[in-house]
Structure 1
Amino acid sequence: MGTSPDFARHWFTARGWKPFVFQKQVWAAIKNGQSGLLHASTGAGKTYAVWFGALDRFARSTPPDDKPRKRKPLAEPLTVLWITPMRALAADTARALEAPLHDLQIRWSIGLRTGDTSSSERARQSRRLPSALITTPESLTLMLARADAFTALSTLRMVVVDEWHELLGNKRGVQLQLALARLRRWHPGLIVWGVSATLGNQAHAEQVLIPQGGGISVQGQTSKALQVDTLLPPALERFPWAGHIGLKMLPAVVAELESSPGSLVFTNTRAQSEIWFLALLEARPDWAGLIALHHSSLSRDTRDWVERALKDGQLKAVVCTSSLDLGVDFLPVERVLQIGSAKGVARLMQRAGRSGHAPGRVSRVTLVPTHSLELIEAAAAQDAVAQGRIEPRESPHKPLDVLVQHLVSMALGGGFLPDELYDEVRRAWAYRDLTPQDWTWALAFVRHGGLSLTAYPDYRRVEPDEYGVWRVPDARLARRHRMGIGTIVSDASIQLKFWSKGGGGKQLGSVEEGFIARLKPGDGFLFAGRLLELVRVENMTAYVKRSATKKAAVPRWNGGRMPLSSELAHAVVARFSAADQGTFIGPEMQALRPLLEVQKRWSGLPTETCLLAEVLKSREGWHLFLYPFAGRQVHLGLASLLAWRISQRLPVTFSIAVNDYGLELLSATCVDWSTHLDPQLLSPDALLKDVLASLNAGELALRRFREIARIAGLVFAGYPGAPKSTRQVQASSGLFFEVFKQYDAGNLLLAQAGEEVLREELDIHRLEQTLARLNRLQLDLHSVKRPTPLGFPLLVERMRESMSSEKLADRIRRMVSDLEKTAETGKA
């Protein structure tokens, strides 16, 4: 073995590169055995900062041997685990890590271990793991669930968690925290590094990743240029409504794509990406084969082809969703277009970083508003990016479904002693205050299913042996558990395949089961940029053929609506405040000025010191429009809360509509809002009790419990090739929910479902903050004669629930025509 040279310096010098200060800081820290968090913008050189730190500390150069060898010498044993949040990133990361090894004569091997890894490759890895293994949190837990895990990972020295910001705030991150706690117990000197971009709370991110302390935080190059601009619409709608997809901007988008050799067109939903991809092809048929579609419901083969073609410079543009948010390195991409508001500063910066993905290159994102009010979000986003106001991400607190799954996994991975494992689990940040009572409940739950499932053998998953070591005694239950490891609970989906009389048609991807259930054979729909016709549904597979119809439905997937973030909302209100003072800085605000002038003339503008409210009498009844600017989720909870609280004072019922800017309460009888919209109504006092009373909390909790039941292993989704239907899974989880409520009311998974409803569905913390903020504002209440530009979108939201899209569009056209005529007259 040779000596340990300065690999980083040699390799960078050979390429004429000069390392950044932050890269040298990371190299020095790793050489000294320190763990840490590297925070740097996308494309700034984060990967090589951490990778060369690992090589400099652990690798050795091996000069070529002149003597011919019968066998190729073995690579060094497993030294580095590289955790990636997405399987799609693994191959790209492997190429980046392999690049220096041959040049520097380092006898290390690189391997991948994800859900896409072939069985033959897994078998090879079972015999000998590569020097650096790129894997996902789920695959790492599967490795830990092997009886030989301790031996297989005995040579591990370092763990790198890539894109840590994507894991920090969810249960996948908690699963990884538990895995790291185990690895640290096995290897007390383990070096752990997180690599992240677009984080608003770096101290918390570091604390969660390195809970024992002693880590170092390194801030990357901050001078990477980020350009945010906006495509202005040719004509401004003074009465905008959310929901149309902004296809009026199609000619402008085509012109932008024409001028760039490689672009990404981001949309916020899969349905939106389908519509835009087809629209671009219809506008430019000559681009067939030069533009592509990428979203998570397309087949893996399709996505892989798109990613390869984009990297190779074969594609002019790709219409995509968050499926391409993360660090796949697409050097040919020069432009990013964002259709509609990104709704968050971090998301916008992450997507912008897909262009100019190399140190020194400018990252440019162009915002394409889908309605007029998104112009103010575009201007506000520019402000927030310039000020570095990035959303924080918080680790979940003590999710017991993840803990229960982990207990069974560790019982498979050689077994555990309860006291020893309790100490280990509490070293994971999410479980730092796990009580002995919580632990006792979790052990009982995996041993016999708790109070209500004791009689059922399938829930006796873990038993102590004669030595007190807890193991999984049943091979069938062990197999089932390994198949269900992970915290990603996918949407209820059904596979799509082309119809073939002989069977075996090409797989296209998946759509929600509920969408297919609404179609009859012969109905057309849009998927993967194609017009398709449903042939038949069989065994959780929908068979389709190409359709000649021009009228087609668009699949809807869950998770389509992203709420406006707090940081972006604050920036939006600041822009409204400036407009109230007559300041319209930037082309977006100048274009929006006619709308804002009508809003101010007919009512007022929301500001940082006033809460704008409008009261309107129409043929439908009495409307209250309120504009807290707290995002759709919070407004739903707030509207329900206000409706419930006012109903305690008056015999009145309400219809509710919400969007990211505000809420509407519609009643059949008059309410004197000047009297009732008081500090008591908006008080955060007794918030939890009142929110639970105002909502169908039981139904919301049942929905959350379905996911919890899957993660905790209560519900089995079926074997490969024979999945259970969504209806079966939902019925099973619903049955457990009712059984626990009736016979095991203290079951901690029930309590977790209620907590997750408040935290994730209603964002109770932000709702509490919003009420406190609203109480500090001065009420600016206006009685208006007609819907204002801010109130009109809320009217449309409510009408959408009760009208077909065709009737709704006709009704909106008539309403807009009337409002525009009135606005032209200059009336107040």
Structure 2
Amino acid sequence: AAGPRPPGGMPAAVSAQAGTGDGAPVVVARAHHGSVSREQRAIVEEELKSGRLPAVVATSSLELGIDMGAVDLVIQVEAPPSVAAGLQRVGRAGHQVGAISRGVLFPKYRGDLVESAVVAERMQAGLIESMRYPRNPLDVLAQQIVAMVALDEWAVEDVAALVRRAAPFATLPASALESVLDMLSGRYPSDEFAELRPRLVWDRVTGTLTGRPGAQRLAVTSGGTIPDRGLFGVFLAAGSGEPTRRVGELDEEMVYESRVGDVFLLGSTSWRVEDITHDRVVVTPAPGQPGKMPFWKGDAPGRPVELGRALGAFLREVSSLAPEQARARSTAAGLDEWGTDNLLAYLAEQKAATRQVPDDRTLLVERFRDELGDWRLVVHSPFGAPVNAPWALAITARLRERYGVDVQSMHSDDGIVLRLPETDGEPPSAEVALFEPEEIEPLVTAEVGGSALFAARFRECAARALLLPKRDPRRRTPLWQQRQRAAHLLQVASGYGSFPIVLETMRECLQDVFDVPGLVGIMSDLRARTVRLVEVETPQPSPFARSLLFGYVGMFLYEGDAPLAERRAQALSLDTALLAELLGQAELRELLDADAVAEVEQQLQRLTEDRRAYSLDSTADLLRLLGDLTTAEALERGATAAWLAELEAARRAIRVRIGGEERWLGIEDAGRVRDALGAPLPTGVPETFTEPVRDPLGDLVARYARTHGPFHAADCAARLGLGVAVVAATLERLGGAGRVMSGEFRPGGSGSEWCDAEVLRTLRRRSLAKLRKEVEPVPVAALARFLPAWQGVGSRARGVDGLLRVVEQLAGAAVPASALETTVLPSRVAGYTPALLDELTAAGEVTWAGAGALPGGDGWLALAPADVADLLLPPVGTLELTELHTGVLDALDGDQALFFRSLSDRVGSTDDAALVAALWDLVWAGELTNDTLAPLRSLLGATARSSPTRRRTAPRPRYGR
């Protein structure tokens, strides 16, 4: 019998290591990877160190691993991504003085044979790749500066001197540092960035930096450089009062595809899903149960160009040797006999298909048609994904310019695959892959900005720069929400190439992800003819191409599931106002709720209690978000005269005259108000804040729209002290960019109005929420009051027409036959008599059918208008048919009606009572009906007639009987 489970503990079947638990099978190997909990990884490492665990199956989580000499052998499945990684992994074995590290590489596919051999050979020679550290990563710089000023005041010169002592920032330009400080202090190139919260205060006169409230917490909770993937924590279900234990992590997409009760593998254990919440998966052990393999999405490291050149040189050498010499060379590289045979056959097949094996001095462009008849272009290049990825961007740009269509492309460490739609002209030749070295970097820079890679990296950079902080560091932030926030910021920032995070994202793509200098070097070699480009057309993919096509299929198989925020936006340029007129969109004035509009406006104007100013810095934020305010308006929103005076003394706020009155203004808006409104500025404004901005008037009008509900152009013009025509023209321009919308919005308003697009979406959501509250559940008593009125009980319906309306409402509803003409119909039709219903059934306007028998000769009955009877009457019930039942149905087949005696003669029945009983069986089963309810009344009466000879019995008028 199992003993009591210790608090927070795990079952013995799960916690037993290497067979140490009584009765548990011997554990041969356990899994070790980053998504297994830290506690579980520590257990695995300790078991391996102690020798109780014979083997560990690990990812690169053990690459930098644990220092111990007990590991005898490292088995590497598939070639490591670099020589350095291979040495680090194999170096886990024999990790002691004088010992030899031993490892075995197992290639996964034929193309992997070459890389495994080259990596193994270079590992033995110690030829590791050169390292490159990030140069001037502005997102990390922003994070570090916030952490520095969170506790102490810093001079800008001291910050610059300190950061330049670190190698990555040794060449940091002063302009880059200033742009980062502008971003952190709230000075943005456009008012569209106003929702970003400043993290520090930069006194331009004294040159000092001071952290704003919350900076320390932000730096601690949102710091770090590892991207947040929005993983779900996996926790072991705990009993009442027991602490939960973390088991590991799962990818967001996999959790969305999982359901309660599913079993999956994590580590070397099966787990059953017991509950899925917004931020965690609760599981229980499922020992011995087969489970699905989890998946995590990540970025694969690309092959370094040095390794790519070595791989190409190996291919060139082996393919040029005689068979015996090639065999000896392969064996010298570390391949066994099977690997050597496989490699030589692989190269021979490639040479037979293309007459040339691609290598470091010969690049191959292969062209063939796919299954649909479209052209596939394969560029065989061994130089690695960091070189091939920007090359693919450049080729697709050229093909798009030439053919006017977007070309699907895929890159890998071994080349590029492109799919071209069917064209009337000649298919593209190898020259589409040739570029001048000088044009590569500008072309790649222009193309990468619209790629999914740029959007994904922008999200990560913005998070590292603390622009997208976590709301609660203890809770998971869904990845799709991160994408939405980053996409909105990118939409704004993409128009400003000097924004630090845009620059950093571009730097990361061009330097850290891509190897643009390596690609430029290859283009230079092609121009100098030291590397040649060979073109070949094949009837089917060559062996090398088939390996690349496998990756192409995997990339585009689930293309439709790609996140929209990280896919290149492609849309037609439409006149939205003209389109709205063409489609005849409904006016929102009748749809928006007046109370919702008032509530949103209160919040936008910072008049609600939770949005009022509460400190000196929040008063500065008030001016930054709302713009110019009179003293009375500022005080109404929580500011104090002392705070305003302190901001003015610190040159964080100024007073200007706008629209004939004095107003407070955030210092960041000084140049904007001067250029847009012609307002004179007070003396002493730092020159930095008087520099021209791109669209000063557009910024002010857009901010007015962003902080108000629906408004007329005249309202905005009066606030800014401008002419209505000037403001209207600016609104038209903003409307063309999709930032504001025009229409009839405000309930009770008049004429066409303007509204910020995001504010309008908020108004629609709030109005919808209020409408939903109106349909919330009501007490049972309200239902009891509603139902009689809805059913017309006690109504003034009269005559045949009134009865027909009642039947239409009751259509298909089964009621006891005994209650139909005693309770149901008399309570709804004043002066009801059976003759009224007979008139409708005899005229064929109403049909009735049985819906099941009840004790005492009673049964369920349903009425319906004849034209919808097939749709609303209950389905035919089940009945165990006798010979007599079958005879009746056969006699009435074909929708014919028969009098009782005719039916008796046709059936050949001599027992009228038995025939009557069979008829009622079929009636209650829904098989038969009658053109009057007189037989039913007779059955239910005190003196039932046993043989109704004057009435006809007909099949129920429904399709298919």
Q: TM-score range by the shorter chain?
A: 0.5 to 0.7
Aligned mates of 2:366, 2:175 — CA distance in 1: 51
Q: Does 2:345 correspond to 1:594? A: yes
Deviations 1:69-97 (A, max 9, x none): xxxxxxxxxxxxxxxxxxxxxxxxxxxxx
Task: Give the aligned partner of residue 215 of structure 1.
Answer: none
Aligned mates of 2:452, 2:379 — CA distance in 1: 27
Q: Does 2:293 correspond to 1:554? A: yes
Aligned mates of 1:308, 1:761 — CA distance in 2: 36
| 1:508 Cα deviation from its structure 2 partner | 0.8
Do the aligned partners of residues 680 and 528 (structure 1) sit closer, same or farther apart at CA in structure 2, a change above 3 Å counting? closer
Do the aligned partners of residues 736 and 803 (structure 1) sit closer, same or farther apart at CA in structure 2, a change above 3 Å counting? closer
| 1:478 Cα deviation from its structure 2 partner | 2.3
Task: Give the aligned partner of residue 505 of structure 2.
Answer: 753
Task: Give the aligned partner of residue 541 of structure 1.
Answer: 280
Aligned mates of 2:215, 2:368 — CA distance in 1: 61
Residue of 615, 623, 631 corresponding to 2:367: 615
Bigger shift: residues 705-714 or 778-787: 778-787
Residue of 707, 711, 727 corresponding to 2:464: 711
Task: Give the aligned partner of residue 421 of structure 2.
Answer: 668
Quick check: 1:462–1:471 contact (8 Å CA) kept in 2?
yes
Task: Give the aligned partner of residue 134 of structure 1.
Answer: none
Aligned mates of 1:673, 1:314 — CA distance in 2: 66
| 1:528 Cα deviation from its structure 2 partner | 1.6
Task: Give the aligned partner of residue 789 of structure 1.
Answer: 543
Q: Does 2:112 correspond to 1:358? A: no
| 1:802 Cα deviation from its structure 2 partner | 5.2
Task: Give the aligned partner of residue 38 of structure 1.
Answer: none
Aligned mates of 1:402, 1:618 — CA distance in 2: 46
Q: Does 2:186 correspond to 1:448? A: yes
Task: Give the aligned partner of residue 32 of structure 2.
Answer: 294
Q: Does 2:565 correspond to 1:565? A: no
Quick check: 1:630–1:770 contact (8 Å CA) kept in 2?
no
Letter in 1 for 2:512: E
What secondary structure is seen at the aligned counterpart in 1 of 2:221?
A: helix
Aligned mates of 2:424, 2:447 — CA distance in 1: 19
| 1:299 Cα deviation from its structure 2 partner | 0.8
| 1:394 Cα deviation from its structure 2 partner | 1.3
Residue of 504, 508, 525 corresponding to 2:247: 508
Quick check: 2:364–2:380 contact (8 Å CA) kept in 1?
yes
Q: How does 1:552-701 map to 2 (within 5 A)?
A: 552-581=291-320, 582=322, 583-584=326-327, 585=329, 586=331, 587=336, 588-603=339-354, 604-620=356-372, 621-650=374-403, 654-669=407-422, 676-678=429-431, 681-694=434-447, 697=450, 699-701=452-454
Letter in 1 for 2:538: V
Quick check: 2:380–2:416 contact (8 Å CA) kept in 1?
yes
Do the aligned partners of residues 531 and 633 (structure 1) sit closer, same or farther apart at CA in structure 2, a change above 3 Å counting? farther
| 1:505 Cα deviation from its structure 2 partner | 4.1
Residue of 764, 768, 787 corresponding to 2:516: 764
Do the aligned partners of residues 335 and 546 (structure 1) sit closer, same or farther apart at CA in structure 2, a change above 3 Å counting? same
Q: How does 1:441-480 map to 2 (within 5 A)?
A: 441-448=179-186, 450-452=188-190, 458-462=197-201, 470-474=209-213, 476-480=214-218
What secondary structure is seen at the aligned counterpart in 2 of 1:508?
A: strand
Deviations 1:464-501 (A, max 9, x none): 59987533242x33222222232222322110113346
Do the aligned partners of residues 639 and 457 (structure 1) sit closer, same or farther apart at CA in structure 2, a change above 3 Å counting? closer
Do the aligned partners of residues 659 and 732 (structure 1) sit closer, same or farther apart at CA in structure 2, a change above 3 Å counting? closer
| 1:312 Cα deviation from its structure 2 partner | 1.8
Do the aligned partners of residues 689 and 523 (structure 1) sit closer, same or farther apart at CA in structure 2, a change above 3 Å counting? farther
Q: How does 1:324-473 map to 2 (within 5 A)?
A: 324-326=62-64, 328-448=66-186, 450-452=188-190, 458-462=197-201, 470-473=209-212
| 1:430 Cα deviation from its structure 2 partner | 2.0
Task: Give the aligned partner of residue 126 of structure 1.
Answer: none
Quick check: 2:151–2:211 contact (8 Å CA) kept in 1?
no
Structure 2: which 5+ residue stretches go unaligned?
1-17, 560-961
Quick check: 2:312–2:358 contact (8 Å CA) kept in 1?
yes
Do the aligned partners of residues 679 and 723 (structure 1) sit closer, same or farther apart at CA in structure 2, a change above 3 Å counting? closer
Deviations 1:21-75 (A, max 9, x none): xxxxxxxxxxxxxxxxxxxxxxxxxxxxxxxxxxxxxxxxxxxxxxxxxxxxxxx
What secondary structure is seen at the aligned counterpart in 2 of 1:722?
A: coil
Aligned mates of 2:247, 2:31 — CA distance in 1: 12
Aligned mates of 2:50, 2:281 — CA distance in 1: 33
Aligned mates of 2:498, 2:411 — CA distance in 1: 35
Aligned mates of 1:389, 1:671 — CA distance in 2: 50
Structure 1: which 5+ residue stretches go unaligned?
1-279, 806-828
CA-atom RMSD in angstroms: 3.2
Aligned mates of 2:133, 2:556 — CA distance in 1: 39
Aligned mates of 1:697, 1:425 — CA distance in 2: 32
What secondary structure is seen at the aligned counterpart in 2 of 1:471?
A: strand
Quick check: 2:28–2:54 contact (8 Å CA) kept in 1?
yes
Aligned mates of 1:445, 1:618 — CA distance in 2: 50
Q: Does 2:303 correspond to 1:528? A: no
Do the aligned partners of residues 800 and 671 (structure 1) sit closer, same or farther apart at CA in structure 2, a change above 3 Å counting? farther
Letter in 1 for 2:92: R
Do the aligned partners of residues 416 and 678 (structure 1) sit closer, same or farther apart at CA in structure 2, a change above 3 Å counting? same
| 1:540 Cα deviation from its structure 2 partner | 0.6
What secondary structure is seen at the aligned counterpart in 2 of 1:649?
A: helix
Do the aligned partners of residues 671 and 623 (structure 1) sit closer, same or farther apart at CA in structure 2, a change above 3 Å counting? farther
Q: Does 2:554 correspond to 1:800? A: yes
Do the aligned partners of residues 638 and 672 (structure 1) sit closer, same or farther apart at CA in structure 2, a change above 3 Å counting? farther
What secondary structure is seen at the aligned counterpart in 2 of 1:406?
A: helix
Deviations 1:383-415 (A, max 9, x none): 322443211111211111212222222213432
Quick check: 1:635–1:663 contact (8 Å CA) kept in 2?
yes
Quick check: 1:377–1:572 contact (8 Å CA) kept in 2?
yes
Aligned mates of 1:634, 1:608 — CA distance in 2: 13
What secondary structure is seen at the aligned counterpart in 2 of 1:686?
A: helix
Aligned mates of 2:404, 2:178 — CA distance in 1: 48
Aligned mates of 1:541, 1:462 — CA distance in 2: 38
Do the aligned partners of residues 511 and 779 (structure 1) sit closer, same or farther apart at CA in structure 2, a change above 3 Å counting? same
What secondary structure is seen at the aligned counterpart in 2 of 1:521?
A: coil
| 1:594 Cα deviation from its structure 2 partner | 1.8
Considering Cα pairs closer than 8 Å and 6+ residues apart, tell me whether 1 or 2 has the greater RCO. 1
| 1:547 Cα deviation from its structure 2 partner | 5.0
Residue of 529, 534, 544 corresponding to 1:780: 534
Letter in 1 for 2:308: A
What secondary structure is seen at the aligned counterpart in 2 of 1:685?
A: helix
| 1:332 Cα deviation from its structure 2 partner | 0.4
Aligned mates of 1:564, 1:557 — CA distance in 2: 21
Task: Give the aligned partner of residue 727 of structure 1.
Answer: 480
| 1:287 Cα deviation from its structure 2 partner | 7.3
Do the aligned partners of residues 774 and 496 (structure 1) sit closer, same or farther apart at CA in structure 2, a change above 3 Å counting? farther
| 1:627 Cα deviation from its structure 2 partner | 0.9
Quick check: 2:305–2:387 contact (8 Å CA) kept in 1?
no
- Alignment length, in residue pairs? 521
Larger Rg: 2
Bigger shift: residues 660-669 or 397-406: 660-669
Task: Give the aligned partner of residue 308 of structure 1.
Answer: 46
Aligned mates of 2:289, 2:534 — CA distance in 1: 49
